[in-house]
Structure 1
């Protein structure tokens, strides 16, 4: 499986590598490319890699560093956005930012994504995990690229990571070979209490459509530093499997954690225990009822 980088916006360089941003302060965000390349940010002024002033409106949210610094847009001028911060945070260079609910004007496939996909075709990958799929048109664009370059056999797993992806989920499921519920970025786009509902909703839709569905992100997060999962994490993995997910996925736990092998073993044990329910006739009856109910929605 090849995972695309997807459209993303990053903060530029910051003086001394990091600056402390205070709660309830004005923070100016310069959006022109010259500032991004040449200006070192301070605690009052930072730069970003995309002209977000063209995409935003007053009242929109900007989340920096995976949501660790939250802010609201209060002023917009050509080449500049001013926000009011909601909390304090030490902000470092090159951190990513999110614009919840905003259809920002970056291409779905960057040149880096295209180069990576062509590399994957030559390497005979089986799947492309397409990041930040917001519409059926995004899936069509990727499918065209694959078909035109000898990758027609490669299956597309669309990652749902945004409010727009949720709004267009039916079309995305129809055009994709499978869906990945990428809960990390999705949890920045929608209220956290909404994520379990959306996870359940997407799994049901994929079951009805006969499409593969994967649940990912922070499933055994504590095992990056601990050899044992929390009970909440065990329940999370179990619940995803029992709902009908075809796979659950590790990320940081196996990529950079201290217990990668143990993380895989723990997840496998939980999945196997949950799958025992699949041999229960009552379980199948419940699943059939869910599919039937979903078909009426």
Structure 2
């Protein structure tokens, strides 16, 4: 086994012996990972075998080995996500040559070395369609309700560079969605290229319902108490001056003392003090400077609570009839376990879709989904086009803002290892979208998004301008980076 205890330079022969042993150890661990997925090495696709090898190699602290390889001019192993075994084989073959030995493994061909990249390109095209000529990453745009009645707005988005149109099935109805789809398809014909349609089923989103405050327009501050009620009207007293209904009443009874609650993407955080009958008292621990106003229809995240909810509601199952008819891919909200993939497949099997298979995008919103992402990918197993959405808003509320930046990187690495296209979502260029003027921070965030295969924009009054700016930024970043790998084009600023 390799870990922090690795000695540094002891000569090529010793390094070669350790690398051969390391490769064998990775292979054994990877087979065990595939077995946990219910697959043998022979049954797994090349992409799943590489994912298993990546999970195996990342069980080790590679930092000492990276430095030892780096100063010798070998691969540092820092960009092996899509090619774990080929990278190890290339290193072993080169060390063998310098050690004057016949390599125990053949050096990979160029085709074998870059096979994971090729598989990712193919999977991305299968999910989103052919990319534009000027950039690799697609641009997904959330359609407002007016997209059903304003075909010129949809056409303007298409002309600005929209590649995927997102319809949020949490809003509007089937008649409105069909009108949106008709306008999107018409815009695609005018611009002469495909625009994929992504329909996002709502899932069991937990939100505030009716709210009440004994203090008029006052805001919740740290130390205040908030009463959450299940079936009753919200009510206030001396214990809690603020109260809100919960959209899924059963959630209130599943809360326990000490459970954390985050409101409106983390604008407020509290801890459950008591749960009695159909109400819970929550003590506010964090809020925005000046306080947070309690409003209806705002999201609630419960990172410590076992929710026990199906990711498909009765409404979702009804909506899927329209989704199957109209969409190129479905956004699967609140998926968290491999069995959730089987549940969706059972529902889709009841709808006789003809032609190309419906793509599925797993929205990673919950800590359990993060932990189970490799198993989710394995359960799909290449049955249909598949992608992952990094839903950074819910992830930040579930994991905490201090973890989300680190976690979005790790999710990108796992997706690349499995040749699964990733969507970078939530608040991309939000200030630009709403006000027409971007912040410096969000421009940097959008540039980092170029490492994903698709970048999602929400809706706003400056949508066309935002698409255009993102289109140019992604094209420029393509010349600098592919995933984690610098492209090293010539610099022209000096």
What corresponds to 1:193 in structure 2? Answer: 402
Match of 2:373 in 1: 169
> In the alignment, is residue 140 of structure 1 matched against residue 342 of structure 2?
yes
Q: Contact conserved, 2:433 with 2:461, CA < 8 A, in 1?
A: yes
Structure-1 residue corresponding to 2:456? 249
Structure with the higher strand share, 1 or 2: 1
The DSSP-based 3-state class of the residue aligned with 1:215 is strand
Query: What is the match of residue 272 of structure 1?
Result: 475
Cα displacement (A) at 1:207? 1.2
Q: Distance in 2 between matches of 1:138 and 1:61?
A: 25
Q: Deviations over 1:185-234 (max 9, x none)?
A: 11101121321221111111111111111111111011133323222222
What is the match of residue 246 of structure 2?
Answer: 48
Range that drifts further, 53-62 or 16-25? 16-25
Report the Cα offset of residue 40 of structure 1. 4.1
Matches of 1:261 and 1:73, distance apart in 2? 43
Q: 1: distance between equivalents of 2:405 and 2:396?
A: 10
Residues 12, 41 of structure 1: 8 Å contact kept: no
Where 2:202 maps in the other structure, the secondary structure is coil
CA contact (8 A) 2:479 2:487 kept: no
Give the CA deviation at 1:134: 1.3
Paired residues of 1:13 and 1:41 also in contact (CA < 8 A): no
Q: Structure 1 length as normaliser, TM-score?
A: 0.83
User: Normalized against structure 2, the TM-score is what?
Assistant: 0.51
Q: Which has the larger radius of gyration?
A: 2
Residue 149 (structure 1) aligned to one of 351, 357, 370:
351
Change (3 A) 1:85 1:165: same
Contact persistence 1:128–1:155 (CA under 8 A): yes
Partner of 2:59: none
- Check the 8 A contact 2:423/2:456 in 1, yes or no: yes
Q: Would you say 1:119 and 2:317 are equivalent positions?
A: no
Matches within 5 A, 1:86-105: 86=285, 87=287, 88-105=291-308
User: Counterparts of 1:279 and 1:74 in 2: how far apart (Å)?
Assistant: 48
Cα pair 1:75 1:83 within 8 Å, conserved: yes
Query: Matched residues in 2 for 1:132 and 1:201: separation?
Result: 19
SS at match of 1:12: strand
**How many correspondences in the alignment?**
272
Rate the CA distance shift 1:77–1:117 in 2: closer, same or farther, 3 A.
same
The whole-number CA distance in structure 2 between the counterparts of 1:62 and 1:80 is: 14
Deviation for aligned residue 1:132: 1.7
CA RMSD of aligned residues (A): 2.4
Alignment of 1:1-297 (within 5 A): 1-15=198-212, 20-31=219-230, 33=231, 35=232, 39-42=233-236, 43-49=241-247, 50-86=249-285, 87=287, 88-123=291-326, 125-151=327-353, 153-176=357-380, 177-241=386-450, 244-251=451-458, 255=459, 257-277=460-480, 283=486
Structure 2 CA distance for partners of 1:272 and 1:111, relative to 1, 3 Å: same
Return the alpha-carbon distance in structure 2 between the equivalents of residues 143 and 189 of structure 1.
27
TM-superposed deviation, 1:277: 3.0
Residue segments in structure 1 that go unaligned for 5+ positions in a row: 286-297
In structure 2, how many angstroms separate the alpha carbons of the residues matched to 1:12 and 1:148?
33
1:295 is aligned to none
